[in-house]
A = this chain, B = another copy of it.
Amino acid sequence: MSELKNDLFLRACKKQPVERTPIWIMRQAGRYLPEYRAVREKADFLTMCKTPELSAEVTIQPVDLIGVDAAILFSDILVIPEAMGMQLEMHEGKGPVFPSPIRDEKSADELLDIDPFMHLSYVLDAVAETKRELNGRVPLIGFSGSPWTLLTYMVEGRGSKNFAKVKSLIYNNPKLAHKILDKLSNAVAGYLTAKIEVGVDAVQIFDTWGGILAPDDFKEFSLQYVEKIISNIFRNDEPVIYFPKGVHHSLIEISNCGANVIGLDWTMDIGDVRKVIGDKVALQGNMDPTILYSPEEKIKKEALKILESFGDGSGHVFNLGHGILPDVEPQKAKHLVDVIKTESIKFHK
């Protein structure tokens, strides 16, 4: 494996000095890129995830086309429940569906304990292939869903507005919920450890649905399992990013979860958060993804606002506050990357 030619992202995650703020974009390997859509035309979503060459190809596209400072492996958080034995279907435009969601002890007991090298070897092959093709240009990020976010999908079975089923589970049978969350924590820790073993340089835990829980429930059903995972991952100094989308409370507890970096959505002021939690972790984020619908001057103005709000010094990884939207023009994403590359220098004198 070659040495990294651009390690700005890793240094910022570790709060080491950098010459400028690094940037990557959630869902940067995605439908807004015509080059991605060309690959997607040849294979469905899950086939792309399961074919290391295709996964590597789309993973690297935004490095070439947009100029981001890190690649994130093209995959999906739901490959874990699928590996545990749940049938997974991807419906174009409607999102993922589990036709047989988990609703009782019996279906929960049937979930397999997984060995990533056996049950998710295609992901690890994709990591190896991507690392080879990246050839040290930028670091590669691996990711997983948080146990709570995975549980939400596994119990609801499909997109939900009120999350009635998973909330009913935690309020009526918390013991069963904890049992599944515990099993998921073991699976996620093993999965992220395996990814690190085969070459990813950092990992991110997506807690997309952490924000639907009241503060006490968030700590009980989500955060404690994230802490457990982070302390159970075997790693050298690969950073861990935790992104609890929509969670605006419990900031101190979140900053103590063991992650090197906390991801923020766009409803927080990044400078205010830095003031509240101090400098013990780096922060990632947090521009509203819809700003990329704006004219270029407006994108620049908003990007600058975030750089200024974070302020001087290392510990900031620029990103959107959620995934890039499929109808954004690629040129707008490239413009954002260029703005960060030039305008952030003055915050690192």
Interfacial residues, chain A to chain B (CB-CB below 8 A): 162-164, 167-168, 171-172, 211, 213-217, 246, 248-249, 266-269, 272, 288-291, 293-295, 298, 305, 325, 327
**Can you list 27 contacts pairing A with B, beta carbon distance less than 8 Å?**
A162-B289, A164-B290, A164-B293, A167-B288, A167-B293, A168-B290, A168-B293, A168-B294, A171-B290, A171-B291, A171-B293, A172-B293, A172-B294, A172-B295, A211-B267, A213-B267, A214-B266, A214-B267, A214-B288, A215-B267, A215-B268, A217-B288, A246-B267, A248-B249, A248-B267, A249-B267, A249-B269
The CA of A248 and the CA of B325, in the complex, are separated in Å by 24
Closest 3 CB pairs of A and B: A167-B290, A171-B294, A248-B248
Are A325 and B211 in touch, CB under 8 angstroms?
no
Given contact pairs A162-B325, A171-B295, A214-B267, enumerate 10 new A-B contacts (beta carbons under 8 Å): A162-B290, A164-B327, A167-B288, A167-B290, A171-B290, A172-B294, A211-B267, A213-B267, A248-B248, A248-B249
How many of these chains are in the complex? 2
Please tell me which one of the listed residues B171, B266, B267, B295 contacts residue A298 in the complex, with CB atoms under 8 A apart. Answer: B171
Residues of B within 8 A of A267 (CB): 211, 213-215, 246, 248-249
Question: In this complex, what residue of B is CB-closest to A321?
Answer: B214
Question: In this complex, what residue of B is CB-closest to A174?
Answer: B298
The CA of A295 and the CA of B174, in the complex, are separated in Å by 12
Q: Which of A163, A171, A172, A215: most chain B CB closer than 10 A?
A: A171
Residues of B within 8 A of A162 (CB): 289-290, 325
